[in-house]
A = this chain, B = another copy of it.
């Protein structure tokens, strides 16, 4: 159960760190945001990252990837989190690629996976229908027709749904709210007839979309996996995405924490460094302890995926639940301890704060994962 990066993984992390520090740091993100041209990430940077092989880390070698595992991918996401690097890595190279790998036919795999690994194709997955993460509450009807399927309804908060070339739609072909059976996955091109994309603007200024289907015709060969059997590949793919998102959040929490400690060390009030006030010292020490414990939970989740352990669900829900709470705690303390300037847009802390709060809701808030954890433990 490795909880520490090995030599190769550390080298990868270092090279990614160097790259994003120079090419995709917080200032780049701020510029991107202020341009307001709707672009949530920089295609050139993404292309360069792909050249580094980042987009292939979790894709099997047989399909043009590096098959380098989730500990490695987690290390990349942590660096992204520290610099607020925006990219389709999570939606496409982790979540989307995983669904195609686990549910797709050989044809589909060889058609899409190499392109995703090369960063030439981006995929987004449409899961949500309400304001809270709830894959089993999927009710978008998938009606079978003579030459395929018909979709009517909408999906919400699709991560990178605006920019993605290809969309994977989770719908229901049978069963009721909460049923694990009856879930079906379909592949749609971004410009599929009868599908409309609406922009969801969120506080983290990244790419989210609602998808609206009006008698959308989907050809039979767009089926990913078999009808009604999406649950198993979906759960594992979700856990892979959750673990990687947790790693990104860990980077963000670490960065907020480090910046706050630095501020405590330098800011003067009442004729002394505010970091010398015991009340703040104890709160900082408490944050540090919480952060170190949460880091271990995140590493364990990534490691569970690499080792295909049978407690992946518990490991991932522990990681997401804890990182949600840790991020919230540290984000609020970071603002409070920075005082007045903490609530200005000029200071970067606010950007981390906003990203953190969106991430908390993505792929399951603490309530969702606490519920799941309790269920897995039989209470």
Contact = CB atoms under 8 A, between A and B. Distances in A.
A281 interface: yes
Contacts of A281: 279
6 contacts: A277-B278, A278-B278, A278-B279, A279-B279, A279-B281, A279-B282
Nearest to A276: B278
Interface residues of A, number: 5
A194 to B, nearest CB: 39
Nearest to A277: B278
Interface string A264-282: 0000000000000111011
A269 B277 CA distance: 18
5 A-B pairs with least C-beta separation? A278-B278, A278-B279, A279-B282, A279-B279, A277-B278
A48 to B, nearest CB: 48
A277 B282 CA distance: 11
A110 to B, nearest CB: 51
Nearest to A280: B278
Interface of A: 277-279, 281-282
A47 to B, nearest CB: 49
Contacts of A282: 279
A377 B281 CA distance: 40
A292 to B, nearest CB: 20
Contacts of A278: 277-279
A186 B279 CA distance: 57
A318 to B, nearest CB: 23
A379 to B, nearest CB: 14
A282 B277 CA distance: 11
A279 B281 CA distance: 8
A279 B285 CA distance: 12
A343 B175 CA distance: 58
Contacts of A279: 278-279, 281-282
Q: Which of A277, A281, A282 has the most CB of B within 10 A?
A: A282
A277 B278 CA distance: 7
A279 B277 CA distance: 8
A240 B260 CA distance: 50
A64 B222 CA distance: 85
A276 to B, nearest CB: 10
Nearest to A281: B279
A367 to B, nearest CB: 14
A281 B278 CA distance: 10
Nearest to A285: B279
A134 to B, nearest CB: 18
A3 B282 CA distance: 37
A40 B278 CA distance: 45
A282 B279 CA distance: 7
Contacts of A277: 278
A271 to B, nearest CB: 15
A281 B280 CA distance: 12
A344 B16 CA distance: 56
